[in-house]
Amino acid sequence: MSVEEPVKDVDVSMQDDEEQEEQLDTEKIKILPGATEDGTAASFQILDEDHTLGNALRYIIMKNPDVEFCGYSIPHPSETKLNIRIQTYGDMTAVEALHKGLDDLSDMCTHIEDKFAEKINKADYPKEEP
Amino acid sequence: MVDNIVHIEQDRVTNTVSNDYPDTSISNAFRRIMISEVPSVAAEQVYIFNNTSVIQDEVLAHRIGLIPLKIDPDLLNWVDNSVDESDKFTDANTVVMTLDVSCTKNPNAPKNSTDPKELYRNSSIYARDLKFEPQGNQLENFKNPIEPADPDILLAKLRPGQEISLRIHCVLGIGSDHAKFSPVSTASYRLLPTIDIIEPIRGDDAKKFQKCFPTGVIGINNGEAFVKDSRRDTVSREVLRHEEFNGKVKLGRKRNHFIFNVESTGAMSPEEIFFKSVRILKNKAEYLRNCPIGR
pLDDT exceeds 50 at position B26:
yes
pLDDT at residue A77 greater than cutoff 60: yes
Q: Which residues of B touch A (CB under 8 A)?
A: 1-2, 4-10, 13, 15-16, 22-23, 25-26, 28-29, 32-33, 37, 229, 231-232, 271, 274-275, 278-279, 281-282, 284-295
Side-chain-facing half-sphere of B254: CA atoms under 13 Å: 19
Q: Classify B190 as helix, strand or coil.
A: strand
Cα(A52)–Cα(B25) distance, rounded to whole angstroms?
8
* Cα–Cα dist B96/A128, whole Å: 36
CA atoms of A47 and B144, how far apart (whole Å): 39
Q: What is the mean pLDDT of chain A?
A: 82
Size of chain A in residues: 130
Please list every residue in chain A whose beta carbon sits closer than 8 Å to the beta carbon of residue B15.
129
pLDDT for residue B12 is more than 50:
yes
CATH of the domain at A92: 3.30.1360.10
Domain B2-37+186-261 falls in which CATH fold?
Gyrase A; domain 2 (3.30.1360)
Residue boundaries of the structural domains of chain B: 2-37+186-261, 40-180
Q: What pLDDT was estimated at residue A3?
A: 41
CA distances B132 to B60, B97, B135, B183, B218, Å, are 18, 4, 9, 20, 52
User: Is residue A15 in a domain?
Assistant: no
Cβ-Cβ contacts under 8 Å between A and B: the total is 124
Domain annotation covers residue A129: no
d(CA A49, CA B289): 14
Cα-to-chain-centroid distance, residue B40 = 11
Q: What is the mean pLDDT of residues B147-154?
A: 93
Domain of residue A99 covers 27-119
Answer yes or no: do B281 and A30 touch at CB < 8 A.
no
> Where does residue B250 rank: exposed (0-12), middle (13-18), buried (19+ CB within 10 A)?
exposed
d(CA B157, CA B117): 10
pLDDT digits (tens, 9 = 90+) for B249-287: 999 998 888 888 888 888 888 888 989 999 999 999 999
Residue B278 and residue B30 in contact, taking contact as beta carbons nearer than 8 Å: yes
CA closest to A97 among chain B residues: B289
Three-state SS string across chain A, please?
Answer: CCCHHHHHHHHHHHHHHHHHHHHCCCCCEEECCCCCCCCCEEEEEEECCCHHHHHHHHHHHHCCCCEEEEEEECCCCCCCEEEEEEEECCCCCHHHHHHHHHHHHHHHHHHHHHHHHHHHHHCCCCCCCC
Query: B58-67: per-residue pLDDT in tens?
Result: 999 999 999 9
Q: Is residue A47 pLDDT above 50, yes or no?
A: yes
* Local confidence band at A2 (pLDDT 50, 70, 90 cut-offs): very low
Cβ-contact B209, B218 below 8 angstroms: yes
pLDDT at A83 over 70: yes
Nearest to A127 among B1, B8, B290 (CB): B8
Are A106 and B7 inside 8 Å of each other by CB? no
Chain A residues lying within 8 Å of B293, measured CB to CB: 29-31, 44, 95
B10, pLDDT greater than 80: no
* A75 within a domain of the structure (yes/no): yes
Q: How far apart (Å, rounded) are the C-alpha atoms in residues B114 and B109?
A: 10
Q: What is the pLDDT of residue B85?
A: 84
Q: Encode pLDDT of A10-34 as tens digits.
A: 444 444 454 454 567 888 999 999 8
CATH code of B40-180, in short, is 2.170.120.12
Our CA-based measurement puts residue B166 at a distance from the nearest CA of chain A, in whole angstroms, of 36
Residue of B nearest to A27 (CA): B294
Q: Do B2 and A129 touch (CB under 8 A)?
A: no
Residue of B174 and B9 predicted with greater confidence: B174
CB contact under 8 A, B282 and A109: yes
Residue of B nearest to A30 (CA): B294
Chain B closest CA to A10's CA: distance in Å?
A: 24
A91 in any annotated domain? yes
Question: Do the interacting molecules here have an ipTM over 0.85?
Answer: no
Q: Is residue A8 a part of any domain in this protein? A: no
Residue A124 inside a domain? The answer is: no
Q: Do B37 and A52 touch (CB under 8 A)?
A: yes
Residue A42, pLDDT above cutoff 90? yes
Query: How much is the pTM?
Result: 0.86
B35 pLDDT higher than 70: yes
Taking CB atoms and an 8 Å cutoff, what residues of chain A touch B286? 102, 106
Q: A80 CB near a chain B CB, below 8 Å?
A: no
Q: Are A40 and A90 within 8 A, CB to CB? A: yes
pLDDT of residue B181: 96
The answer as to whether A110 is a domain residue is yes
pLDDT tier at A126 (50, 70, 90 boundaries)? low
**Does B23 or B117 have the greater pLDDT score?**
B117
Q: How many domains does chain A have?
A: 1
Contacts of B289 in chain A (CB under 8 A): 99, 102-103, 106
